[in-house]
């Protein structure tokens, strides 16, 4: 991770194909295309790779979450349970629809704590959104059972864990809908882009229409298409989809290298008795994009992170103090700071995030460091990186 580390002739060829063809928009201009439909080609290939019936490409991972929620009927006043460790896009997509994000604790998986989820369910809960951060997943078996018991949607935000599996199924395919990001720093990239997968014919039709101004996409005359429902513009371009096609061809090789490099890093750290690793639920296989480990205390973790930076070891993250990925950095959400007037449902229903007790999550996040697995490195460079990380940790612990 990320896919841009393996850019090459394949991506250039696909992009040049679009430029020479001259049609950069995914819809219309049928006579000019000479049979080239990059977004459609990607969707078919990706759905097959993820073992689902349908894929809908959109402009970003954030758009994927927004479109997926809308396609499943989530709207004003509906509550969506999500974790306090995620990316800001998770709550942005919920708020955009007038729905209400309900933030709950994580556990040692660094994903949703099923007990916290169960305690947060109300009569207005519509969806549970686990976020598969840093390459692995929450206890999806428990979360799926909760959804079944309470008749709730299960929407997987798999933007950071593409290629992982649970009980033999690709992450994203376990829930009613699964969402992916193909931005510039993801395991496979379109430059900018996102995708939704589902086995529901209805959700696919809704997503297809919602992301393109409500167009029904029936027939071959875009100007004659009807608009069965309101929609917006979350379309992907043919240029971005073209990059994705080339990246999808490298997907399995990327995952293989990530696992190899992950194991090199993890094996170097395993002998340190003070280190434990993030729990991967039974039946889960992570995509190996990050090595996530816990140190004994928050104080030690902060010292290690600082020392790694001073030692020139890049791409090691301490999420507890991160502005994008943990509740502590989301002052704009905690205070509902917005350019526009938010819906009355959001204002009246959202929890007081300045006073809510997330100490259980703090106990995990405060001790967590994540090392990115960089596939652009050689094996020797990864081994050197692993030795340097271990050396820094041992120095701090001593």
pLDDT in tens, 149-182: 999 999 999 999 999 999 999 999 999 999 999 9
pLDDT band (50, 70, 90) for residue 139: very high
Average pLDDT of the segment spanning 227-232: 97
Position 253 scores a pLDDT of 97
How many helices (H) does the chain have, and how many strands (E)?
14, 14
Q: What is the pLDDT of residue 302?
A: 98
* Residue 326 backbone dihedrals phi, psi, to 5 degrees: -140, 150
Q: How many CB atoms lie within 10 A of CB 87?
A: 20
pLDDT at 207 over 90: yes
pLDDT band at 54 (very low <50, low <70, confident <90, very high): very high
pLDDT above 70: percentage of residues in the chain:
100
Tens of pLDDT, residues 80-133 = 999 999 999 999 999 999 999 999 999 999 999 999 999 999 999 999 999 999
Averaged pLDDT, 304-326? 96
pLDDT of residue 1: 80
Q: How confident is the model at residue 287 (pLDDT cuts 50, 70, 90)?
A: very high
Q: Each residue of 28-39: pLDDT tens digit?
A: 999 898 889 999
Give the burial string for 168-200 (b: 16+ CB within 10 Å, else e). eebbbbbbbbbbbbbbeebbbbbbbbbbbbbbb
Q: Which residue is listed with tokens 């502590």? A: 328
Give per-residue pLDDT as tens, 323-376: 899 999 999 999 999 999 999 999 999 999 999 999 999 999 999 999 999 999
CATH class for the region spanning 3-251: alpha beta
* pLDDT for the residue numbered 216: 97
Spot the catalytic one: 38, 126, 186, 374: 186
Q: What is the model's pLDDT at position 34? A: 87
Answer yes or no: are the C-beta atoms of 63 and 194 closer than 8 Å: yes
DSSP 8-state secondary structure symbol assigned to residue 341: P
Residue range 252-397 in CATH 2.60.40.10? no
Q: Is 186 a known active-site residue?
A: yes
Could you state, in order of their start, the residue ranges of all structural domains in the chain?
3-251, 252-397
Q: CA 372, CA 352: separation in Å to the nearest integer?
A: 33
Q: What whole-number distance in Å separates Cα of residue 186 and Cα of residue 372?
A: 11
DSSP result, 340-391: SPPPHHHHHHS--TTT---HHHHHHHTTEEEEE--TTS-HHHHHHHHHHHHH
Round the average pLDDT of the chain to a whole number and report it. 97
Q: How high is the pLDDT of residue 74?
A: 98
């Amino acid at each position: 991770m990320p896919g841009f580390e393996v850019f090459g002739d394949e991506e250039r060829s696909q992009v040049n194909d679009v430029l020479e063809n001259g049609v950069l928009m995914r819809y219309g201009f049928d006579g000019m295309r000479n049979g080239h439909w990059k977004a459609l080609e990607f969707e078919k290939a990706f759905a097959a790779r993820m073992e689902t019936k349908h894929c809908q490409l959109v402009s970003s991972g954030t758009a994927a979450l927004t479109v997926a929620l809308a396609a499943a009927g989530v709207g004003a006043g509906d509550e969506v349970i999500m974790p306090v460790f995620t990316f800001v896009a998770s709550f942005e997509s919920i708020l955009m629809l007038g729905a209400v994000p309900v933030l709950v604790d994580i556990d040692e998986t660094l994903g949703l704590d099923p007990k916290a989820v169960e305690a947060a369910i109300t009569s207005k809960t519509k969806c549970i959104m686990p976020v598969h951060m840093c390459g692995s997943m929450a206890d999806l078996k428990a979360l799926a059972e909760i959804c079944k018991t309470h008749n709730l949607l299960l929407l997987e935000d798999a933007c950071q864990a593409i290629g992982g599996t649970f009980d033999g199924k690709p992450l994203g395919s376990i829930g009613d809908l699964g969402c992916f990001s193909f931005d510039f720093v993801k395991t496979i990239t379109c430059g900018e882009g996102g995708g939704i997968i589902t086995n529901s014919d209805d959700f696919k039709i809704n997503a297809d229409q919602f992301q393109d101004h409500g167009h029904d996409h029936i027939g071959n005359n875009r100007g004659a298409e009807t608009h069965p429902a309101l929609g917006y513009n979350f379309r992907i371009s043919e240029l971005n989809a073209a990059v994705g096609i080339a990246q999808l061809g490298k997907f399995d090789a990327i995952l293989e290298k990530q696992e190899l490099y992950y194991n090199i890093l993890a094996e170097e750290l395993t002998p340190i008795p003070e280190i434990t690793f993030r729990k991967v639920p039974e039946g889960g296989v992570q995509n190996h994009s990050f090595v996530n480990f816990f140190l004994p205390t928050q104080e030690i973790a902060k010292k290690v992170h600082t020392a790694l930076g001073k030692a020139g070891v890049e791409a090691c993250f301490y999420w507890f103090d991160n502005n994008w990925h943990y509740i502590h950095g989301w002052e704009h959400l905690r205070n509902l700071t917005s350019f526009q007037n938010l819906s009355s449902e959001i204002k009246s229903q959202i929890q007081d995030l300045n006073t809510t007790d997330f100490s259980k999550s703090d106990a995990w996040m405060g001790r967590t460091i994540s090392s990115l697995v960089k596939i652009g490195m050689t094996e020797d460079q990864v081994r050197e990186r692993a030795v340097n990380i271990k050396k820094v940790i041992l120095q701090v612990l001593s």
